[in-house]
Structure 1
Amino acid sequence: MSTAALLAERLEVSERTIYRDIRDLSLSGVPIEGEAGCGYRLLPGYDLPPLMFTPGEVEALVAAIRLVQTWSGETLAQAAGTAEEKLLGVLTPQRRVVAERCRIISPDFNKYPQVKTWFDIFHRAIGELQVLHVCYEDEKGRASNRNVHPIGLTFWGEVWLLVAWCEVREDYRSFRLDRCVSVDPTGRYFSERPDRSLAHFIQLQQSEGCLPETKKPIG
Structure 2
Amino acid sequence: MSRTHRLFQLMQALRLMPPPATAADLAQDLGVSPRTVYRDIDTLRSLGAVIDGSAGFGYTLIEDAALPPLSFDTDELEALVLGLREVGEVGDPALVKAAQTALSKLRARLPAAQAHRLEHAVLTARRYARMPEPGIDVSALRQATWDERTIRFDYSDAEARATTREVDPLSIVFMQASHCLLAWCHLRRDFRAFRLDRMRHLELTGASFRPRRVPLLRDYMARLREEMTPADPAH
TM-score tier (shorter): 0.5 to 0.7
User: How far apart are the structure 2 equivalents of 1:108 and 1:119?
Assistant: 22
What is the alpha-carbon root mean square deviation over aligned residues? 2.6
Is 1:191 aligned with 2:210?
Answer: yes
User: How far apart are the structure 1 equivalents of 2:215 and 2:190?
Assistant: 8
* TM-score, scaled to structure 2: 0.60
User: How far apart are the structure 1 equivalents of 2:154 and 2:132?
Assistant: 17
Structure 1: runs of 5 or more not aligned: 1-48, 211-219
Is 1:207 aligned with 2:226?
Answer: yes
Is 1:78 aligned with 2:97?
Answer: yes
Alignment of 1:85-96 (within 5 A): 85-96=104-115
Deviating runs (4+, > 4 A) in structure 1?
A: 107-111
How far off its partner does 1:128 sit? Answer: 1.4
User: How far apart are the structure 1 equivalents of 2:119 and 2:72?
Assistant: 14
Show the counterpart of 1:21: none
User: Percent of aligned pairs with the same residue?
Assistant: 29
How far off its partner does 1:107 sit? Answer: 6.0
How far off its partner does 1:71 sit? Answer: 2.4
Structure 2: runs of 5 or more not aligned: 1-67, 230-235
How far off its partner does 1:112 sit? Answer: 2.3
Aligned to 2:86, what secondary structure does the other structure show?
helix
Partner AA of 2:110 in structure 1:
L
Is 1:154 aligned with 2:165?
Answer: no
Aligned to 2:172, what secondary structure does the other structure show?
strand
Q: Alpha carbons of 1:182 and 1:110: their partners in 2 closer, same or farther (altered >3 Å)? A: farther
Q: Alpha carbons of 1:113 and 1:87: their partners in 2 closer, same or farther (altered >3 Å)? A: same
Range with greater deviation from structure 2 (123-132 or 191-200)? 191-200
User: How far apart are the structure 2 equivalents of 1:197 and 1:65?
Assistant: 28
Deviations 1:54-96 (A, max 9, x none): 2222122112112223322333333323321221123222221
